[in-house]
Amino acid sequence: MTFTMSRRLAILLLVLLAALALFPLWGKLAFAAKFPFLMQKLTGIMILAILAMSLDLLVGVAGLVSLGHAAFFGLGGYVLAMMSPQYEAANLWLVLPCALGVTALASLVVGFLSIRTSGIYFIMVTLAFGQMGYYFFNDSKAAGGSDGAFIYVKPAVEAFGVTLLDLDQKLTFFYVALGTLVAVYALLRLLLASPFGRVVRAIGVNEYRVQGLGFNPMAYKLVAFTIAGTIAGLGGFLAATQYGFVNPAMLGWHQSGHVLVMVILGGMGTLFGPVLGAFILELAHFAFESVTDHWLLPMGVMVIAIVLLLPKGVAGLLIQWTTLPPPQAGEGGERSETGEGPHPPTAARRVPPSPASGRGEVKEAPP
């Protein structure tokens, strides 16, 4: 069984992706004055979306709710900041593998210690490790303390002395972030479709049954935790490159909580949901902020409304919309309101298992 998605939903997401990819063209016409700012904003959101997707692997798929995920995000950024020479460009082929290696190692160690606990205890242990990371950089003089550290020159992407990409170019970096976002999504989709991914998804549904089938859930959870941490590190590396600046707040629990909200709001376990969550939350923040000084108020109301009205997040709503039977097959609109109405057999067969309930799917594992 794969991570199924209805064709309509796939088309909808591709349209959104295309709109995003073409933003440098139409955005300039639509928002002439704010265009540079919006480019920067969207690039930042895409990086946060990468972080949210990696957290979804833990929260939505494996059932491991981490409240310290931003620690690896910040760590990836700090590795870049610490390794960058002051007035020269760092070599990307050196700093990127180092950043990924360090975050992979850190998440392996933290994961090894945390996965012994579960439920709310796991939330709190990851919070504790996240805060330890925060205070480590906050209190250490070498890393700039609470002021953070600057990266004056962006890493150079060169091969044999030829510059391949100029990360200083806003447009180039926009597409680097977009490409990474799509690549991470594809990677995670492939991973979840693999035998390894199936076991991780099954753990999210029923860990004991997985154990009963002869798997060692701890090993699978640890690998998933390490992969998620490393992807978060990649996101942090990109964020540090974009802003040319790292500070301890990147690692703090506020950041972790913020990303967790993106994941839940967007729709856990769907991978694309957290991406939508990142865009909705950040763009809503931006929109409210430009209208009122008291932007937290509408923001809070929006979050609460989404929880109360959309139990499966925004992704759940999209899945529901896109899997409705076509109108000619029956009174589609009416039935969607009652939800539980009697489905004609043709329409019922049309409805694929919803990815939002990804936790439920694996129950049909082959005997």
Binding of residue 231 to another protein (CB under 8 A): no
Does 261 engage in binding with another protein (CB under 8 A)?
yes
From the list 248, 247, 276, 246, the residue with the least C-alpha distance to 262 is: 276
Q: In terms of CB distance, is 14 or 305 closer to another protein?
A: 305
Distance separating alpha carbons of residues 10 and 319, to the nearest angstrom: 10
Cα 88 to its chain centre, rounded Å, is 31
Read off the tokens for 66. 């981490």
- Total residues in contact with another protein, by rule CB under 8 A: 41
Please report whether residue 287 would count as binding another protein according to CB under 8 A.
Answer: no
Among 40, 91, 117, 323, binds another protein (CB under 8 A): 117
Q: Closer to another protein by CB, 1 or 307: give it.
A: 307
Contact region with another protein (CB under 8 A), list: 11-19, 160-168, 182-190, 254-262: 254-262
Query: Among residue numbers 329 through 348, which ones bind another protein (CB under 8 A)?
Result: none
Please select the residue that binds another protein; options are 132, 164, 287, 348, rule is CB under 8 A: 132
From the list 80-88, 133-141, 151-159, 343-351, the region that binds another protein by CB under 8 A is: 133-141
Distance, in Å, from the CA atom of 79 to the CA atom of 100, rounded to the nearest integer, reads 9
Q: Which of 128, 153, 222, 365 binds another protein (CB under 8 A)?
A: 128
- Cβ proximity to another protein: between 164 and 301 the closer is 301
Residues whose CB falls within 8 Å of the CB of residue 337, separated by 6 or more in sequence, listed in order: none
Tokens found for residue 196? 């390894």
Least Cβ distance, residue 132 to another protein (angstroms): 5
Distance CA 193, CA 220 (A): 15
Quote the least distance from Cβ 116 to another protein, whole Å.
Answer: 5
Q: Which of 103, 131, 241, 247 binds another protein (CB under 8 A)?
A: 131
Q: Could you tell me the CA-to-CA distances from 237 to 67, 230, 234, 251 in Å, in that order? A: 20, 10, 5, 13
244 counts as binding another protein under rule CB under 8 A? no
Question: Hey, which residues between 45 and 84 contact another protein (CB under 8 A)?
Answer: 59, 65
Does 326 bind another protein (CB under 8 A)? Our answer is no
Selected binder of another protein within 31, 35, 135, 286 (CB under 8 A): 135
88 binds another protein (CB under 8 A): no
Is there binding between residue 265 and another protein (CB under 8 A)?
yes
Interface residues with another protein (CB under 8 A) are 59, 65, 113, 116-118, 120-121, 124-125, 127-129, 131-132, 135-136, 138-139, 253-254, 257, 260-261, 264-265, 268, 294-297, 299-304, 306-308, 311
